[in-house]
Structure 1
Amino acid sequence: MGTKGMSLVLAAAGVAGALITPSAAAAPAGRWTGTWTTSMQRPMGATWQGANWSLDGFAGESVRQVVRISRGGTQLRIRLSNRYGTSPLRLAGATVAKAGDGASIQASTVRPLRFDRSQSTVVPVGSEAVSDATLLPTSALDRLAVTLYFAAPTGPATFHEAATATTYRAKGDHRFDATGRAYTAESHSWYYLSGVDIAGGPARSAVVTFGDSITDGVSATKNADNRYPDQLAERLVASRKPLAVLNAGIAGNRVLDDSDCCGDSALSRFRRDALDQPGVRSVVVTQALNDIGFDPEVTSAELIQAHRKLIRAAHDRGVRIIGGTVTPMKGSMLDSPRGEQIRGEVNRWIRTGGEYDAVVDFAAVLADPADPAALRAEFDAGDRLHPNDAGLQAMADAIDLSSL
């Protein structure tokens, strides 16, 4: 039996220490559902969003990352990615706990994580690993702290640049440190941690939001969980709909072209980041701004054809796919007369083409009534492109929950 086949067998048996390939990432129906995710990127230097630790990686250090899950369950597991590493990733140990303030955790909830019954694991270059099932009952919107300890040098780190949340680093092994006082360094990226899954609840109950910086939530208030997917999760909880919401946005991401700093293209990563999520039932796509703004040769026909490929890929998996219109950009760094024409043509197709299973008109919701090409002033984070917290709330509110 090959590596891929063995991975599937082990995953089906609930042995999560096995390495898994992108096509084997989904757990058996009804067993696991993604409750939090982020899309992985190549290591890179500082950007307009600030410095990060990805190029240097870690050695003799603990990294504590706080994430808010969208659905609860009786057990959980984490997923780690070494997709863009240059050497095998040696994890000396890990814990999960319910988060406190800052880097602190609720001591009574801390649990050691195991990988094939061992506290340590090695993740080869280009691979992903999942932990064993861990008993920690959780509720929707709980905040979890995942702490990873790396005794040996990791080399450059696979990561997600724009976390819009604080990650903490400490020298030495501080996996069980409840106070968090040892964590004296901070970053605003996530490292290696690509997902949290929960067991329990209905099968096929995860909604993936897929896109660029607007989905990623780079303009949301840090540590406030105000990205539009977060606010959609809050709506679902309030409506007593047991659906998880997973954020697969990457700042700067394009539909057509890969980028060293802004991730693999939507076409390249859609199956891995959206369709392979455990328990996925539907995907909300809103993406094209960066292609329009940065590629002077791109055409609306090319973008529409690419969106059709996403639709076909989703339907081949039996996944529902919702199209989000491309949001206003007038007066922003992406604005141009030609770009506005292309945005209009793509949006006209999304609204009237009948190819998406449903449509959410983000562009209309965010537009200035007096100038539909521009972002409404009260929704502007300051660059005429990215919505602020109120604008992100308006996006979440625009989604018909029954369409999911």
Structure 2
Amino acid sequence: MVCALIVPSGQALAAGSGQSAAAKHSVVTWGASADRLGEGVADRAYRLVVHTSVGGDNVRIRLSNAFGDRPVTFDSVYAGLQKSGAELVRGSNKRLTFDGARSVTVPAGQTVYSDPLPGRLAAESNLVVSIHSPDAAGPGTGHGMAMATSYFTQGDHTAEESAANWTGTTGSWFYLDAVTVRTRSSVGAVVTLGDSITDGWQSSTDLNRRWPDYLARRLRTSTATTVEGVANEGISGNKVLADGAGQSALNRLDRDVLSHPGVRTVFLFEGVNDIKAHTGVTAEDMIAGYREIIDRVHARGLCIVGATVGPFKGWPEWDPAGEAVRQEVNAFIRDSGEFDAVADFDRALRSPYDPERMLPFLDNGDHVHPNDKGMQAMADAVDLASLDCSSA
């Protein structure tokens, strides 16, 4: 874990004394796509561990009840820094408020932001958000495949920095779907819209080795772009065109992507699940879906990077017909000029000896999902300057 502290606001202001408040804005530093996640449990608390990208002050979190069928109340919410496991850095755990109140009720289908938390949060921090609901019930909202360990308990132990009462573990995030910070107005964010590869499946749990994590580390030290924030909006099994494993990319674009503050660029890497599902989806269908996303992103004044669909020969659903669709789709992404920029993940991952197949060194073994080395190769294939592209 990167050593970082949420420091008193006076210190944060002193550190940035050469910059007026007017020169700052809010930017998303972490995000996770919302989905239906089991049933809400009354009097349960969650201690959710998330890894930030860009640093800043005035931390805010967003709680989501997007898939609930009734209001859910959170009567105690804290944010601190991880020391180890469920234990927090001493003195870091601070209560969050909502319009000045300690409790907030989130209507069904809605989200709410907390008030800003004074002080500064460093980049690449393991932020820990502890939430308690006295009345959660009905469909829960969260993100199923976190590739990170979080914790839960019965009763309200959110104010505690000790791990003693946090004995339950979970690989999901509940109700929390975004964290934002205030930083320089020149700094922007990229949102990665994708499926299980973007979600990080088969990368190393708790080590932040999803390809968007590697991208965030590159951005942190780059002088090629002022994009520093990264929000990972991948969902395992997700499709561009059809609901199933989460709402389709088309149906969740507004909530999961365009609603975040400070976004400059959308990075679209989806399509393999549509292609390999054998539902009759054609390249023309896929291209129409991409074009709708491009148009909606451009209508918001943002730019969009398209990533080519990676090879998946060896996966049980692979066949020559699906491969032909993939090749046609990738030709559109590379050559149409309709995306503002292109990241050629197909080229980064494919074997030079069989370009329909992933290079074994980068393959986790199932022939669709890259391993940690493959995730890094994907991030390394992104031209960082392209994330500052113009949508004009």
Of residues 150-159 and 206-215 in structure 1, the stretch that sits farther from structure 2 once superposed is 150-159
Deviations 1:257-280 (A, max 9, x none): 112xx1111111112211221111
After TM superposition, the structure 1 = structure 2 runs for residues 1-400 of structure 1, keeping only pairs within 5 Å, are 30-43=24-37, 54-55=38-39, 57-203=40-186, 205-239=188-222, 242=226, 243-259=228-244, 262-400=245-383
Would you say the 8 A contact 1:62–1:173 is kept in 2? yes
- The residue type equivalent to 2:94 in the other structure is R
Partners of 1:333 and 1:86 in 2: CA distance: 37
Report the count of equivalent residues.
364
3-state SS in 2 of match to 1:273: helix
Identity %, equivalent residues: 41
- Please list the CA deviations of residues 38-68 of structure 1 after superposition, one character each: whole Å capped at 9, or x if unmatched: 000113xxxxxxxxxx23x222221000001
> Which residue in 1 is equivalent to 2:3?
none
Moved over 3 A (4+): none
> Match of 2:30, as an amino acid?
W
Unaligned runs of 5+ in 1: 1-27, 44-53
TM-score in terms of structure 1 length:
0.88
Give the direction of change, closer, same or farther, for the CA distance of 1:361–1:233 in structure 2 (3 Å limit): same
The residue matched to 2:191 in structure 1 has which SS?
strand
Structure 2: which 5+ runs fail to align?
1-21, 388-392
Q: Residue type matched to 1:142 in 2?
A: S
Shift of 1:30: 4.5
CA RMSD of aligned residues (A): 1.4
Q: Supply the distance in 2 between the matched residues of 1:303 and 1:32 (Cα, whole angstroms).
A: 34
Contact 1:203 1:279 (C-alpha < 8 Å) held by counterparts: no
Contact in 2 for aligned 1:60/1:150 (Cα 8 Å): yes
Q: Which residue of 2 aligns with 1:10?
A: none
1:187 to partner: Cα distance: 1.1
Match in the other structure for 2:17 = none
Deviation of 1:75 after TM superposition, in Å, equals 1.2
- For 2:150 and 2:50, the matched residues in 1 are separated by 10
Shift of 1:29: 9.8
Distance 2:303 2:194 in 1: 16
CA-to-partner distance for each residue in 1:129-161, whole Å, 9 max, x for gaps? 110011131111011000001122433310111
- Residue 334 of structure 1: CA displacement? 3.0
For 1:246, give the aligned amino acid: A
**Aligned partners of 1:109 and 1:136 also within 8 Å:** no
Q: Give the deviation of 1:351 after TM superposition.
A: 0.8
Quick check: which one's strand share is greater? 2
Q: State whether residues 48 and 129 of structure 2, in contact with CA within 8 Å, keep that contact through their aligned partners in structure 1.
A: yes
Give the C-alpha shift of residue 363 in structure 1: 0.4
What SS class does the counterpart of residue 356 from structure 2 fall into? strand
Q: Return 362-371 or 169-178, whichever deviates more.
A: 169-178
Q: Distance in 1 between matches of 2:133 and 2:257?
A: 29
In 2: Cα distance, 1:188 partner to 1:333 partner: 27
TM-score (norm 2): 0.90
